[in-house]
Amino acid sequence: MLTIIIPAYNEEKRIPPTLESYGNFFLKKEKEKGLKTEILVVINNSSDNTLGVVENYCKRLKNIKYLNLIRGGKGFATIEGFKEALKKNSEFIGFVDADMATSPEAFYDLYKNIGKAHGIIASRWKKGAKVKRSSGKLVRSKGFNILTRFLFLFPYEDTQCGAKLFRKNVAREIVNNLERAEWAFDVNILYLCKRKKFKIKEHPTIWEDKDGSKITSIKVPIRMTGGVIRLRLLHSPFRVIIRAYDKFLAKRIKMHNII
């Protein structure tokens, strides 16, 4: 079985065409190819009507399921999705953004091309990719990739594209060993795979920027940059300082909550 996780935070406006397209496309593949697929929407701390929208699609399309979490965060939601998929013994587990920047055809292309690799990631920079995106976002994306390749010695041209697919043994390692690094979630996964010596392929994709992105503030790229630097320090001789700071911060928060 193939499980496709869709983290959803306040996505009532953008998720309907995604569920319509993914649900129908993979139902068709089930009939044609016998590929059983579950589309698992992980709603996390949403304050809009995302839950109601998803519930309606679950009634219409049998391959759409959902989790409704109180806690927020894309990384947390995706990991909870992995856990749920592993309970059902899915052979392939992946995730994709809720805005359909990656079409179901493009995601299915990952499945077709995984071959004997442990995982496969969509790339907007690899030769053959077709991308519609503003020049400003392209520049920021390239700059972030240069930073991650320098810090982690990655071969990947695009760590941040929101479409990735893994075999269940890799998903199990991700669930059990991933560091807490919300703003560096994708990089965190790929670095764990590198340390575990998993073979991860990078595949050119078709990708179109969508309106309504929550990554519009300058604060987000700054936090992402800080997140990957922090992750690298956690895997260096400086990790003692980072962990000591985390403990100090946790105590301060606890004291503040008590007061």
pLDDT one-digit tens code per residue, 10-58: 999 999 999 999 999 999 999 999 999 999 999 999 999 999 999 999 9
**Gap between the Cα atoms of 99 and 105, Å rounded:** 14
Query: How much is the pLDDT for 49?
Result: 96
Confidence (pTM): 0.86
| Domains parsed from the chain with CATH numbers | 2-258 (3.90.550.10)
Q: Where would I find the H helices in 46-132?
A: 50-60, 74-87, 104-113
Helix 74-87 and helix 185-195: axis angle, to 10°? Answer: 50
Which residues of the chain register pLDDT less than 50?
248-250, 252-256, 258-259
CA 47 to chain centre: 21
Q: How many helices (H) and strands (E) does the chain have?
A: 9, 9
Establish how many alpha carbons lie within 13 A of residue 36's alpha carbon, considering only the half-sphere containing its beta carbon: 6
With a CB cutoff of 8 Å and minimum separation 6, the contacts of 233 are 239, 241, 242
